């Protein structure tokens, strides 16, 4: 019988993909017959969680979605987390037609074999729930726990053929505009850049024709007869606020799986990572470990884009305008900074006297925030410079630390007045998001090894 967790020695098999120097997980490929399946691993916990994605997936662009990387890193508090693209999606090989559930099961098994995981926790999202159920029922020796979120056992939810055809036509007509992803992450508004980013994510996941074929095939999914055969511990999670899959579907799954535990939330979107998911992380941790240490530890490590700003020539300006006027300007500066960071869904960490420190879970929003803040500050007569870098940070209470924070500060130090500089990793992550950058050359950043390519951002 397999034991939960990872083996001590799996010969020449890969037991984990390293993080790159800049904190991004590395994409690797598992071989499922003659198909290459793209996957990433994050963390080094004693358990393995394999996340089975829904109908839209791209292992690298996932990290541009709000909250996604933070969600993974919270799971890393007690597990090694594996993400992958199913065949035909994202960075995995394209295939003709639509893969069967059986072929998709082979892809999960191939990824588990590639990372040396004999037994894992399956976390199925949305469409991935049906395949996760089938895998757990077929290979119980390889699944320690089954967790489903926003799932369904039978696609269509009793929708008529006419209504389904209309839905498919509308979905494909809007494919690549970000409209579907807006409903997935629960976004009710958003600026033009954010919507463009969601649209790019849809396009990178698969083509409109491939997604239409997928929708038609998914309508035939029905694993209701399999649910009573699941014999591994199962946790079914669903939200009443789910705009993609009605909460009734989650209740049906939980009722049909023997001894399944069911938890319902009131405020999570279909893409739970984009909502307040601390309770959900705690529920998962308690289910698989028997304890609940909290979703966020005293020192939590997450991937984030760090923004540093300061006012160029602040000492000279303070002398010129006098103390009272200077303090008024600083107060206005701080209020403007907080408002701009909040508008771009960032975390205002602190004021640094004549500048700010903020973090973002999306690099595109971070760059746009820096540009917007710089333009607004310039109208106040304050020449501001800004530096950004994406990497792993340490969260301690209300403060942040780590190499990525120091790197962002060093990037800012190379800026001129009214300029926004970013590291190479930031430009890589926002490719296609409509932002413009100009090469500034390679720099040695004080106290940080290597040569750093920097780029100036423009609206």
Average pLDDT, integer, range 103-130: 93
Query: Is pLDDT above 50 for 178?
Result: yes
- The pLDDT assigned to 10 comes to 34
Least-confidence region, from 41-55, 271-285, 289-303, 365-379: 289-303
Q: Which of 270, 292, 315, 41 is nearest to 149 (CA)?
A: 270
429 CB-near residues (< 8 Å, 6+ apart): 24, 63, 64, 305, 363, 364, 390
In angstroms, rounded to a whole number, what is the distance separating the alpha carbons of residues 259 and 404?
Answer: 45
| Burial call 33-56: b when 16+ CB within 10 Å, e when fewer | eebebbbbbbbebebbbbbbbbbb
Q: Dig out the tokens for 239 from the structure.
A: 């939200």
- Cβ contact 445:407 at 8 Å: yes
Please report, for residues 41, 211, 426, 438, 455, the alpha-carbon distance to residue 441 in angstroms, rounded to integers and kept in the order given.
32, 41, 15, 9, 7
Q: Is 199 helix (H, G, I), strand (E, B) or coil?
A: helix
In angstroms, rounded to a whole number, what is the distance separating the alpha carbons of residues 243 and 230?
Answer: 27
Least-confidence region, from 52-56, 299-303, 326-330, 411-415: 299-303
What confidence tens digit (pLDDT) does each residue in 344-366 have?
989 999 988 889 999 998 888 99
Half-sphere exposure of residue 213: CA atoms within 13 angstroms, side-chain side? 13
- Cβ contact 106:135 at 8 Å: no
| Percent of the chain at pLDDT exceeding 90 | 53
Q: Dig out the tokens for 189 from the structure.
A: 């508004």
Least-confidence region, from 180-184, 240-244, 362-366, 398-402: 398-402
Q: How many residues does the chain have?
A: 459
Q: Dig out the tokens for 232 from the structure.
A: 């591994």
- pTM comes to 0.64
Comparing 97 with 399, which gets the higher pLDDT?
Answer: 399
- Cβ contact 127:54 at 8 Å: yes
Average pLDDT, integer, range 297-301: 56
139 CB-near residues (< 8 Å, 6+ apart): 105, 109
Comparing 358 with 66, which gets the higher pLDDT?
Answer: 358
- The pLDDT assigned to 16 comes to 38
Least-confidence region, from 59-73, 99-113, 152-166: 152-166
- The pLDDT assigned to 213 comes to 85
What confidence tens digit (pLDDT) does each residue in 189-216 have?
556 767 888 899 999 999 999 888 888 8
Query: Is pLDDT above 80 for 53?
Result: yes
Residue 318 bridge partners (DSSP) = none
Q: Work out the mean pLDDT of the chain and round it to a whole number.
A: 86
- Cβ contact 149:173 at 8 Å: no
- Cβ contact 387:408 at 8 Å: yes
Least-confidence region, from 116-125, 253-262, 278-287, 301-310: 301-310
- The pLDDT assigned to 189 comes to 53
- The pLDDT assigned to 447 comes to 75
Query: Is pLDDT above 90 for 5?
Result: no
Average pLDDT, integer, range 30-42: 93
Query: Is pLDDT above 80 for 33?
Result: yes
- The pLDDT assigned to 191 comes to 61
- The pLDDT assigned to 231 comes to 93
| Burial call 399-409: b when 16+ CB within 10 Å, e when fewer | ebebbbbbbbb
Comparing 304 with 7, which gets the higher pLDDT?
Answer: 304
Query: Is pLDDT above 60 for 255?
Result: yes
- The pLDDT assigned to 408 comes to 93
Average pLDDT, integer, range 163-173: 91
Please report which helix (H) or strand (E) contains residue 427, including its range.
helix 424-429
- The pLDDT assigned to 64 comes to 85
Average pLDDT, integer, range 279-286: 94
Write down all domains in the chain, each with its CATH number in brackets.
Answer: 28-289 (3.40.50.1820), 299-458 (3.30.70.1230)
Q: Tokens 């920097």 appear where?
A: 454
- The pLDDT assigned to 190 comes to 56
- Cβ contact 452:411 at 8 Å: yes
What confidence tens digit (pLDDT) does each residue in 302-327 have?
788 999 999 998 888 888 888 888 88
Query: Is pLDDT above 90 for 298?
Result: no
């Amino acid at each position: 019988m397999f034991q939960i967790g990872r083996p001590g020695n799996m010969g020449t098999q890969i037991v984990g993909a390293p993080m790159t120097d800049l904190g991004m997980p590395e994409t690797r490929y598992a071989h499922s017959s003659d198909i290459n399946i793209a996957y990433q691993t994050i963390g080094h916990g004693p358990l393995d969680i394999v996340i089975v994605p829904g109908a839209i997936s791209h292992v690298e662009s996932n990290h541009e979605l709000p909250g996604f990387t933070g969600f993974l890193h919270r799971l890393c508090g007690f597990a090694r987390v594996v993400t992958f693209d199913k065949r035909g999606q994202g960075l995995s090989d394209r295939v003709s037609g639509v893969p069967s559930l059986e072929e998709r099961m082979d892809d999960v098994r191939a990824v588990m074999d590639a990372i040396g995981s004999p037994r894992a926790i399956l976390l199925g999202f949305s469409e991935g729930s049906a395949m996760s159920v089938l895998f757990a029922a077929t290979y119980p020796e390889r699944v320690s726990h089954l967790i489903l979120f926003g799932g369904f056992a039978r696609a269509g939810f009793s929708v008529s053929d006419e209504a389904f055809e209309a839905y498919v036509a509308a979905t494909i007509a809007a494919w690549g505009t970000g409209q579907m992803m807006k409903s997935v992450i629960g976004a009710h508004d958003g600026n033009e850049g954010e919507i463009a980013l969601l649209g790019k994510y849809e396009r990178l996941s698969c083509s409109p024709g491939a997604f239409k074929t997928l929708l038609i095939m998914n309508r035939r999914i029905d694993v209701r007869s399999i649910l009573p055969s699941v014999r591994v511990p199962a946790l079914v999670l669903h939200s009443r606020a789910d705009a993609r899959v009605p909460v009734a579907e989650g209740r049906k799954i939980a009722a049909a799986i023997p001894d399944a535990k069911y938890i319902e939330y009131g405020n999570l979107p279909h893409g739970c990572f984009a909502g307040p998911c601390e309770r959900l992380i705690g529920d998962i941790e308690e289910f698989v470990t028997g304890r609940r240490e909290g979703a966020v530890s005293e020192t939590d490590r997450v991937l984030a884009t760090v923004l540093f700003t300061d006012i160029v020539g602040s000492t000279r300006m303070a002398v010129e305008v006098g103390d009272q006027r200077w303090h008024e300007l600083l107060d206005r500066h701080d209020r403007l900074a907080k408002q701009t960071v909040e508008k771009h869904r960032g975390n205002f960490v602190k004021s640094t006297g004549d500048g700010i420190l903020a973090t973002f879970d999306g690099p595109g929003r971070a760059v746009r925030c820096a540009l917007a803040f710089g333009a607004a500050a310039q109208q106040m007569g304050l020449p501001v410079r800004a530096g950004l870098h994406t990497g792993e940070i340490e969260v301690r209470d209300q403060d942040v630390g780590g190499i990525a924070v120091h790197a962002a500060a060093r990037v800012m130090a190379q800026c001129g007045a009214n300029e926004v500089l970013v590291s190479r990793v930031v430009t890589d992550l926002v490719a296609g998001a409509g932002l413009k950058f100009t090469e500034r050359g390679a720099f040695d950043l004080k106290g940080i090894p290597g040569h750093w390519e920097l780029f100036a951002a423009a609206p």
